[in-house]
């Protein structure tokens, strides 16, 4: 018997589509290092080469290309934790990424259509040959949440994908795919263990074309009886859509993924801005978060020499309510020196989530930019300015 409030159905969804949990607690912040200026001019590091996937063969390349892109559920999905019994559209982003030890890897993340900047599930797919058949293997993360923040949006900039390898992953199941007239279809080669809703094992089925994707599953109890799935309600159907996330290549290698951009006037020179943010390094370490402190960072923009250049560049053009993910190369971050107090190593790429909460124009008589809170280096949790 299928429970329509559960989102975990289908081979892809075993890894991706766990129940939507509303109101999760925020991650704990680290030291307040994020927007502070780097006091020493850092040498320019070697440029990062664009990532170009090298598929094992043409058949695997075809499956990967069909999977890659932006998918949206064709109908709303029930929210398990919603007291009102609500439902929401889901969006899944899939793209090729480099993962050490994982052949033909893709990253996939699922988010509510109304909150794309905060995916609630992430996974790794791998395509490989087994006895001349293409198999799709799904992986979950060994340490839940370790890379959750830093991974968001890296499907758009795979050369900046975090340093993930097989030691960070646990294989969950395989689906054996065979060509059809319009794409590929297949199922798990045998039942896989599960503890979901009274089942002890499960099977899954996938159908994939260039524009549609569907998954279906069945859960069996210890007596071999189907206890969920098999009906129409257990099938997730997706359609490929144009990506609603705007990818902006900015000056000096900064990349911005814009999830929200309300109408309004963009911030201008000498505006005092109120920004909530969180920041990560490539290893998944959250080194700072204003959200955990419950107060936005307030400064007069821009602030060259007092904020890292990547921030001055990355928030350009934002309007109140804009929500972005920034990827900031070390050249415009903390450079060769790093930021030891915040555990930011030398030559570290920085990953930020930023949201513009409020902006104030300078008073007409202000000429020196000294009104409001100053754009000084953000103090750490002990109240000291960063080196």
Give me the DSSP letters along 127-178: EEEETTEEEEEEEEESSTTTTHHHHTTGGG-GGG----BGGGEEEEEEEEEE
CB count within 10 Å of CB 43 equals 11
In tens digits, what is the pLDDT along the chain, a chain of 387 residues?
Answer: 333 333 443 445 544 443 333 333 333 333 344 455 554 444 555 678 899 999 999 999 999 999 999 999 999 887 755 555 688 999 999 999 999 999 999 999 999 999 999 999 999 999 999 999 999 999 999 998 999 999 999 999 999 999 999 999 999 899 999 999 999 999 999 999 988 889 999 998 999 998 999 988 888 999 999 888 755 566 889 999 999 999 999 999 999 999 999 999 999 999 999 999 999 999 999 999 999 899 999 999 998 888 999 999 999 999 999 999 999 999 999 999 999 999 999 999 999 999 999 999 998 865 554 443 333 234 333 333 333
Spot the catalytic one: 184, 299, 334, 351: 334
Give yes or no: 352 in active site: yes
Annotated catalytic residue within 139, 161, 220, 287: 287
Domains (range + CATH), the chain: 11-241 (2.40.128.590), 246-360 (3.10.50.40)
User: Could you confirm whether 125 is annotated as catalytic?
Assistant: no
Q: What span, in angstroms and rounded, lies between the C-alpha atoms of 46 and 266?
A: 33
- The answer to whether residue 334 is catalytic is yes
If we measure between CA atoms, which residue out of 127, 179, 122 comes closest to residue 148?
Answer: 122
241 is catalytic: no
Is 147 among the residues known to form the active site? no
Whether 141 sits among the annotated catalytic residues: the reply is no
Which candidate in 308, 315, 327, 344 is catalytic? Answer: 308
Q: Which of 259, 297, 351, 352 is catalytic?
A: 352
Element (H, E) at 299: strand 297-301
């Amino acid at each position: 018997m299928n429970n329509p409030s559960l989102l975990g159905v289908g081979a892809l969804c075993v890894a991706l589509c766990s129940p939507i949990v509303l109101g999760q607690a925020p991650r704990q912040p680290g030291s307040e290092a994020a927007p502070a200026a780097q006091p020493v001019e850092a040498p320019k590091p070697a440029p990062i080469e664009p990532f170009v996937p090298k598929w094992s063969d043409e058949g695997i390349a075809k499956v990967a290309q069909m999977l890659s892109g932006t998918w949206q559920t064709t109908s709303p999905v029930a929210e398990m934790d919603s007291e009102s019994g609500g439902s929401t559209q889901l969006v899944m982003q899939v793209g090729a990424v480099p993962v050490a030890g994982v052949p033909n890897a893709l990253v996939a993340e699922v988010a509510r259509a109304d909150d794309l900047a905060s995916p609630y599930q992430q996974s790794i797919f791998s395509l490989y040959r087994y006895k001349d058949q293409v198999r799709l293997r799904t992986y979950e993360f060994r340490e839940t949440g370790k890379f959750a923040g830093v991974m968001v949006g890296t499907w758009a900039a795979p050369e900046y994908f975090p340093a993930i390898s097989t030691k960070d992953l646990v294989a969950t199941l395989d689906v054996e795919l065979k060509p059809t007239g319009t794409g590929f279809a297949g199922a798990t080669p045998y039942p896989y263990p599960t503890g979901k809703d009274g089942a002890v094992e499960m099977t899954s089925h996938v159908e994939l074309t260039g524009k549609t994707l569907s998954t279906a599953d069945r859960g069996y109890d210890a007596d071999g009886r189907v206890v969920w799935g098999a009906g129409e309600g257990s099938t997730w159907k997706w359609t490929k859509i144009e990506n609603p996330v705007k990818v902006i290549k900015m000056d000096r290698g900064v990349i911005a993924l814009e999830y929200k951009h309300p109408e309004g006037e963009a911030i201008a020179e000498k505006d005092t801005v109120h920004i909530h943010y969180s920041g990560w390094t490539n290893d998944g370490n959250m080194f700072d978060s204003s959200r955990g402190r419950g107060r936005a960072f307030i400064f007069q923009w821009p602030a060259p020499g007092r904020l890292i250049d990547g921030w001055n560049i990355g928030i350009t053009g934002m309007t109140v309510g804009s929500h972005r993910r920034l990827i900031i190369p070390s050249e415009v971050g903390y450079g060769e020196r790093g930021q030891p107090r915040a555990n930011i190593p030398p030559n570290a790429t920085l990953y930020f989530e930023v949201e513009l909460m409020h902006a104030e124009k300078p008073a007409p008589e202000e000429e020196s930019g000294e009104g409001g809170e100053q754009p000084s280096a953000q103090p750490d949790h002990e109240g000291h300015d960063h080196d």
